[in-house]
Structure 1
Amino acid sequence: MDGWEMLKSLGRIFWVGDGNKLRFSGHGDVVVGACGFCSFGATINGGDVSAASNLYRNGVGCSDCYQVRCTNNHYCSDKGVTVVITDSGSGPNTDFILSRQAFGRMAQTKDAATSLLALGVVDIEYRRVSCSYPNKNITIKIDENNNYPYYLAFVLWYQQRDKDITVVQLCETQNFVCKLLDRSYGAVWTTTSPPSGPLSLRMLLSGEDGDESWVVPVNNIPEKWKAGET
């Protein structure tokens, strides 16, 4: 099926039935949380975002992109919608929780979107795809809970490609001595007693095919980092 995986999906607000399901959030967009994205989690990718259960994978799945399409020929488009995982969440046997906007984008037209939302239950196909953010690089956002200079916490935005960030190292930019970081939760990485001076990151990207590669973001962490900085 060209990489598409079949699963049963749910599209009625807060209604969870049997089997593997997908539903959309009934209160605006997906509430931010388990990935650590804060309000950014509702606006990335133009608001086409989703929470996930199994695909969250203890935070490794944060920022992953999936193309999701429903299979009702009367209402659903062939293209579907590409969503970014920005949170963890599920009801009984629920795999995705799409934003309402993203759920409607699976439809052929606006009228079809209304009908699609009214159906309640739809079948979908989904597959992992590369994330693409034109004119954006991986961005380091200093978390509000950091405590300079003793404790550093940050979240990674605009993860590109279709690989997972599995290891992050914090490196001194002058002598390139690196320290392994902890994934606190979601896309938030932390360390106590961070090195001094301007800092850079090294990230190990791992693919489903076993391919791995180290990358260094172009953005550095300034010497005197502060909460909220990017």
Structure 2
Amino acid sequence: MGFPLSHYCCFLCVIVLLPVLCKCEDTFTYSRAAYYGSPDGLGTPTGACGFGEYGRSVNGGKVAAASRLYRDGTGCGACYQVRCKMPNLCADDGTKVVVTDHGQGDHTDFILSPRGFSMLARPNMAADLIPYGVVGIEYRRVPCQYPGSNIFFKVHEHSRFPDYLAIVMLYQAGLRDITAVDIWKEDSQAWRGMRNSYGAVWDMPNPPKGPVNLRFEVSGRGGQEWVQLMNVIPSDWKAGVAYDSLFQLDY
């Protein structure tokens, strides 16, 4: 028995689009999560990513230390949807956390801030979930979203004007990782790579004088590309100050 032409067209569309649809669908990874102590329930400003106060309060304090997902600092700032696996206690969608630190627990991929761990629970059931300490979870990476915010380049507190410059990028949206950062040297007309000091901190001794022109490499599902930003940090930069790049990554 034959099929109408429209049926063949629909079948062809399914065959062509199915790999694309499958590729776009993120799968969850099973693991475990614990939480660390914090008097205010937020993160810590002394995390291994070098975020400082941002690492304590970003995303409403729903942050996490990661073990293998830390990836030598490349994973700093990545966002994950995390949900626990006890139906009577755990919220269906779980919560979104931002990686701001490195830490290992009892076969865990995440050690959450108290606020992040509490948000795994159903409404008004956090007090029942907290005593478990460690719970089974599933997680997947999701885009970071900071509506109305650009990427900020923060001059790290350890910087010393004008002899040593260290920077860390804040409010990076999307799914991509920053894998390299360069500074433009006007005298040699060439880009010079910054060192990944630790976590999300990039540094350089004796940086070029004048306004700082940067480019950074981002990698993700779409491959790798360089983003170039001119005069993103002023010539009289100051340690501890965050400068608005007027730019944000897409998803």
The TM-score range, normalised by the shorter chain, is: 0.7 to 0.9
- Contact 1:69–1:80, Cα closer than 8 Å, also in 2: yes
- Contact 1:137–1:218, Cα closer than 8 Å, also in 2: no
**CA distance in 2 between partners of 1:229 and 1:120 (Å):** 37
**CA distance in 1 between partners of 2:231 and 2:142 (Å):** 25
Moved over 3 A (4+): 172-177, 216-219
TM-aligned CA distance change 1:24 to 1:212, over 3 Å: same
Give the AA of the match of 1:193. Answer: N
Name the residue aligned to 2:234: 222
Secondary structure (helix, strand or coil) at the match of 1:69 reads strand
Give the AA of the match of 1:3. Answer: T
Q: Which of 64, 77, 81 does residue 95 from structure 2 map onto?
A: 81
Deviations 1:152-177 (A, max 9, x none): 11111111111110011112689974
- Contact 1:50–1:84, Cα closer than 8 Å, also in 2: yes
1:90, CA displacement in angstroms?
A: 1.6
Name the residue aligned to 2:22: none
Name the residue aligned to 1:13: none
**CA distance in 2 between partners of 1:64 and 1:41 (Å):** 12
1:83, CA displacement in angstroms?
A: 0.4
TM-score of the two chains, using structure 2 as the length reference: 0.79
Within 5 A, what are the aligned runs for 1:1-230?
2-7=26-31, 9=32, 22-28=33-39, 29-31=42-44, 32-110=46-124, 112-171=125-184, 177-207=190-220, 209=221, 211-217=223-229, 220-230=232-242
1:210, CA displacement in angstroms?
A: 6.2
TM-score of the two chains, using structure 1 as the length reference: 0.86
**CA distance in 2 between partners of 1:107 and 1:39 (Å):** 26
TM-aligned CA distance change 1:6 to 1:94, over 3 Å: closer
Secondary structure (helix, strand or coil) at the match of 1:114 reads helix
**CA distance in 2 between partners of 1:219 and 1:136 (Å):** 19
Higher Cα Rg: structure 1 or 2? 2
- Contact 1:71–1:123, Cα closer than 8 Å, also in 2: yes
**CA distance in 2 between partners of 1:134 and 1:176 (Å):** 36
Secondary structure (helix, strand or coil) at the match of 1:220 reads strand
Higher helix fraction (1 or 2): 2
Give the AA of the match of 1:26. Answer: G
Q: CA RMSD in A?
A: 2.1
**CA distance in 1 between partners of 2:146 and 2:188 (Å):** 32
**CA distance in 2 between partners of 1:36 and 1:74 (Å):** 37
1:97, CA displacement in angstroms?
A: 0.9
Q: Indicate the percent of aligned positions where both proteins have the same amino acid.
A: 45
- Shifted more, 164-173 versus 53-62: the winner is 164-173
- Contact 2:181–2:215, Cα closer than 8 Å, also in 1: yes
- Contact 2:66–2:104, Cα closer than 8 Å, also in 1: yes
- Shifted more, 168-177 versus 49-58: the winner is 168-177
- Contact 1:139–1:219, Cα closer than 8 Å, also in 2: no
**CA distance in 2 between partners of 1:78 and 1:217 (Å):** 41
**CA distance in 1 between partners of 2:115 and 2:155 (Å):** 29
